A and B are shown apart, each in its own frame.
Chain A
Amino acid sequence: MKRLTVTLLLLCGMMIPAALWAAEEQPAAPAKRIDLKLTSKYIASEWTNRKEFPDSVTFAYYNVYCLKALGKGVSAEQKKKIITFLKSCQRQDGGFAPDPAYAQRSNIVFTFYALKTLSLLDSLDAIDRNKLVAHLKPLVQADGGIKGVNRPGEKADLATTYYGLEALDLLKAPELLHRDKTVAFVQSYREKGQGFGRMPGKPSMPLSTMMGVRSLLLLNALKETDRQEIIAHIKTTRYSGLVKDRKYPDLPTVEDMAATLETMTDLSAMGMLDLPAIHTFIESLYIPENGGFGPQPGYGTTPPSTYYGIVCLVKLGQIKDPLLKTKTVR
């Protein structure tokens, strides 16, 4: 245990220069109670060792992300299994469905996760890119939004547009976009002077704010004034470090915490957060019985919440960021 703590401290020390936030910003508290060795075992038990592994497109991504973040790496056999599985999830229309056996309808969220996984595995060329680009093309709407499903009646919103933008970025196919219209579409979800809402004119939500900010970054359209306003907004939310403030009637979630940390990383503003308080919150979600993380305080472990817990530790600079391949100091 002591050795693990020392290793973590060393790892943290190595990772801080690689993090996006500035060196003078507040460092995160080192992991004390969290036994990442046990977390690795949990991931092996819940995901990697399953006969059905990787089981679904999202689980494939969570698994690869977590293994890399925890320094475990992905074996050649696992990589082969994942790629074979993901290829089987690409539907006739070119998009991706969550699993090949029972879910036939493709959705942009699974297309995003499939591409993101393949990108992490340096295997984007494993799938039929042209077919996928042809699938994405009609999803881009005249108003700049990107639909999630190519079906009459389906509408684009901020979330589907965000996933579409990420997919187009990974495919290096920006020519499909009507950039200015898409910027305007994304901005229509902005709550004036605040973050982004799930719908136009509605209040800011952590996940929507993450999606809005990242969409604008992908479109190279985030203005400094917007950045400052969004940072100021986030500083007023519970996820700035007031996670357990009693003025909130409902429980904070690890997913919203992760979304906020991702947003603040994207805005190079991690130092504006109360990082020790956030670490304490993440620590409170850790389940020592199995090494996973729960979705909310007092809740048991689930695989997705464990993934989000690890995302939080990554963003706090405590473990390796698998998405920062080139920036990682080795």
Chain B
Amino acid sequence: MKKKIAVGCLALAATGATLLTSTAHADYKVIATNDLGMHCVCMGFDTFVLLPPFNTLRAQLIQRGSDPVPVTDGSRFKVTYDIVQNTEASLKADPYYQSWVTNAPKLFPGFNPKAANGNYQGLTGSQLRGEMTPDSQGAMWEVVGVPAYPDMSSNSTTAQKIMTDPLGGPNRNPYLTASVKAYDRATGALLAQTTTVVPAAFGGCCGCHLNVAKSYGYANPTPRDSFNVMGMLHAQNSSHINIATIDPDHDGVPGPIRCSQCHLDPAMGESVAPGYAGYAVSKYTFSDVLHRWHAQNSVVLTNYDPNIAKDCYQCHPGNNVNCYRGAHTSETINGHNVWCTDCHGDLNQRIAQGQMLQPWSDTTLPKCATCHSNTGEGGGYMEKRLFGKYLNSHGHYSEKILCSSCHGEPHALNPSAMAADNTQNIALQGLANPIGKCSVCHTNQGTSYGKPPHS
């Protein structure tokens, strides 16, 4: 029977027609999620970079039974991931990704975007496919820093290529697929497999800043023209630094630079901004300067967008990507839909409360408990120094099940408005809702059966 199922799964995978979640072994289930529900990435790296290709996947391998347990023994099990649409060939043919390959060593000295095996690798050494690392404290498997990139190749269907390219290039698929499989390390037997969404999208920066460059006289502005204008504007602030004149690699051509080199961004894994030789490091975080400047600058407010404090999609991926797509989008508070600012606050509020002085922190990110009671949020908490309570908390039995394993990725909570986000839960329990059927993990009514998931 097991063999039949495994053969069936292989046949399904071989057709390439679908990547539905399915189990290969009745005793195990694997549930995978992306950490944030969206990762922004720049569309070229010749001049400056806000965010590099960097994606993180988490998975929980559950050994089913009367009292199921998440297993993380790396000597017994192996959990693999594969970014389906991103291949070595597709990234080689992608001009934006190649811009990353060329400039990454200049942006991150010592980093080689190609691994020893010749494959592309992310900043942490993670490749497009490989093994996930067990994390016993988190009761999960994780791969950090996968260089997933919005796909323009024929590996994505036209229907998947929903993201507009502000620079006029072809549309891209921002919602990639990760195939996650768990194996018995000794026998190589496939124990469980699933798919999850790996979101990577362009922000809206270029859409507006090319227009800014136009207003400064660049008739058909390029990203470098835009960089030059931004540098000139940056020189008008208290730093008096024209960022478009910084030439870190001393090749005589300014750039490439990364903003977080001078403005601390904990999302880059740094606790202090490294700075550029000869330039002062800012005391303001990247999140703070970026948001505060746009929300408070009179030229922005009077010439571009007086609503920028609430207009999240001007900068965050809204270019038909609409990264906020989870269950909250169809929920209402007092008759109105829940918008980003209902959880995060608008920029005026976030600035006034100093939220962005500590970005990516559980002290400043939204908490479920603000609206929901008895969530168990904070249980089995992982000290990751990044992300909010939801992402790093565990609930259910022995506080070992990640909130996101059942409820989905932040911004894409189940049931999501986007079908791909629901695929995993539908495969596991026949419903797009958060995992709620005991039989997904419990084979019969053991001691933990029926235990409320949030207590």
Contacts and interface: CB of A to CB of B under 8 A. Distances in A.
A250 B302 contact: no
Nearest to A197: B215
A110 B345 CA distance: 20
Given A56-B310, A296-B164, A198 B303 contact: yes
B309 A56 contact: yes
Contact of B311 (A47, A296, A298, A302): A302
Interface in B201-217: 207, 210-211, 214-217
B352 A299 contact: no
Given A298-B319, A300-B322, A251 B334 contact: no
A260 to B, nearest CB: 14
B311 A203 contact: no
A109 B211 CA distance: 20
Contact of B306 (A101, A110, A302): A110
Given A250-B166, A297-B164, A300-B322, A50 B305 contact: no
Contacts of B305: 304
B312 to A, nearest CB: 9
A50 B336 contact: yes
A202 B229 CA distance: 13
Interface in B78-130: none
B337 A46 contact: yes
Contact of A296 (B207, B332, B337): B207
A15 interface: no
Contacts of A251: 164, 166, 207
Interface stretch (B55-63, B175-183, B293-301, B407-415): B293-301
B168 A250 contact: yes
Interface residues of B, number: 47
A205 B302 contact: no
Interface string B340-372: 000001101101110000000000000000000
Chain A interface residue bracket vs B: 35 or more
Contacts of B348: 98-99, 101-103
A198 B215 contact: yes
A299 B318 contact: yes
A211 B426 CA distance: 53
Contacts of A197: 215
Contacts of B220: 249
Contacts of B381: none
A299 B320 CA distance: 4
A107 interface: yes
A35 interface: no
Contact of A107 (B301, B307, B349): B301
Contacts of A109: 298, 301-302, 306
A122 interface: no
Given A159-B303, A251-B207, A45 B310 contact: no
Select the residue from B162, B298, B302, B309 with max chain A CB neighbours within 10 A: B302
Interface in B266-313: 296, 298-299, 301-303, 305-307, 309-311, 313
B337 A102 contact: no
B221 to A, nearest CB: 8
A8 interface: no
Contacts of B449: none
A157 interface: yes
Interface in A191-207: 197-199, 202-203, 205, 207
A296 B165 CA distance: 11
B12 interface: no
A310 interface: no
B164 A59 contact: no
Contacts of A51: 333-334, 336
A157 B299 contact: yes
Interface in A51-105: 51, 55-56, 58-59, 98-99, 101-103, 105
A160 interface: yes
Contacts of A24: none
Contacts of B335: 45, 49
Given A148-B298, A160-B302, A250-B211, A304 B333 contact: no
Nearest to A108: B302
B167 interface: yes
B339 interface: yes
B10 interface: no
Contacts of A249: 167-168, 220
Contacts of B332: 45
A57 B336 CA distance: 19
B219 interface: yes
The 5 closest A-B pairs by CB, nearest first: A49-B335, A298-B164, A102-B348, A159-B302, A102-B352
Interface of A: 45-47, 49-51, 55-56, 58-59, 98-99, 101-103, 105, 107-110, 113, 148-149, 154, 157, 159-160, 163, 197-199, 202-203, 205, 207-208, 249-251, 253, 294-300, 302-304
30 contacts: A46-B336, A47-B336, A50-B334, A55-B310, A56-B309, A56-B346, A58-B307, A59-B307, A102-B348, A102-B352, A103-B348, A107-B298, A110-B306, A154-B298, A157-B303, A159-B303, A202-B215, A205-B214, A249-B168, A249-B220, A250-B166, A250-B168, A250-B211, A294-B320, A296-B164, A297-B164, A298-B162, A299-B318, A302-B314, A302-B318
